[in-house]
Structure 1
């Protein structure tokens, strides 16, 4: 089970999350976010945690050139793409970086078929309001959740194990339920989330 701690805004929180066992750190470059971070912080975080922990840049409806410039400056390992973008845009990005393509439940049926066989693109299912802390209805999605996809949306230490049992994602991602305040991680919550996700056993949800 891969675990991503998103909304990192400082080198200290990057180190905290890596030491807790996170496989990936998320750095948000969408200007509308309260967790907006400078590429230089991401680069410094990468130097502090080492190459084994992936640095994922989060973007929303931003141009291809802007994403690529930021990714280079920040020394990203991968990019996470939200918003209304074309399949061509995603494929162009995937020529440079692994892509996490974020979908809402309403987009799942069509988009899952588009990216099923594309090796550079991994799907992530998130809530309609990313970072809002509201979990999805996992039981309603259990028959349609794509194999190999990641799950986000309202995950935290108290519910991530149940989400993994129901949907069996390849990875999980959390932001708001791991914070003391927006942009500042709660160390105990980060450690508990990573531990709960790593110890969860994907299996059919008990009926």
Structure 2
């Protein structure tokens, strides 16, 4: 029996048009970045409209970095997200507080995986995601070096594109894959052909 196909998240969505196209191409989830420092930052109003445009079967994930709990919960409610992705150094209490309201993707760097991975895996409602040290920078991780330490059920991000995602899936067997920079025509604007090719490559890798 073949391995199950990873779930597919298209991150850095900034428009209703890009959201609808990704959903039609077969994305399982869309990421809306609310971190102030991001060049792909989007308003809660746009994220909410985009979510309404794709319907309830596509997950809407709010992406946060170094933001306080009140802001995370306020923006998540306003945008009507269905899950929250958390970057940066965070306490267990903070993550548990968010997980009381939303499923959480807790993002770690490879250097933090051994120490922090078991901690977050023990928190109900939290799923691990492994990303590059510079999220959104387009630099892939060394998948071969991670093969023996990549926890089952973990999502993979970091430099994934249509040409390399199948290889990453075959090496690490992630529960989900997340891409942004290599699917763009320019920062914040998706290239529909690249999005479609990425989704097709993920499906093909598990066929």
- With normalisation by structure 2, the TM-score equals 0.96
- Which structure 1 segments of 5+ residues have no match? 203-207
Conserved? CA contact 2:128–2:155, under 8 Å: yes
Distance 2:86 2:22 in 1: 22
Conserved? CA contact 2:106–2:120, under 8 Å: no
Partner residue of 1:62 out of 60, 63, 67: 67
Aligned to 2:196: 191
Aligned to 1:101: 106
The count of corresponding residues between Structure 1 and Structure 2 is: 202
Alignment of 1:1-207 (within 5 A): 1-201=6-206
Q: For residue 87 of structure 1, report the CA deviation from its aligned partner.
A: 1.1
- With normalisation by structure 1, the TM-score equals 0.96
Distance 2:177 2:111 in 1: 19
Question: SS at 1:55's partner residue?
Answer: strand
- Which structure 2 segments of 5+ residues have no match? 1-5
Conserved? CA contact 2:139–2:158, under 8 Å: yes
Greater displacement, 115-124 / 171-180 = 115-124
Question: SS at 1:9's partner residue?
Answer: coil
Question: SS at 2:14's partner residue?
Answer: coil
| 4+ aligned runs moved over 6 Å, structure 1 | none
Q: For residue 27 of structure 1, report the CA deviation from its aligned partner.
A: 0.3
Question: SS at 1:108's partner residue?
Answer: helix
Greater displacement, 112-121 / 177-186 = 112-121
Distance 1:196 1:52 in 2: 21
Deviations 1:41-69 (A, max 9, x none): 01101111000000000000100010000
Q: For residue 116 of structure 1, report the CA deviation from its aligned partner.
A: 2.3
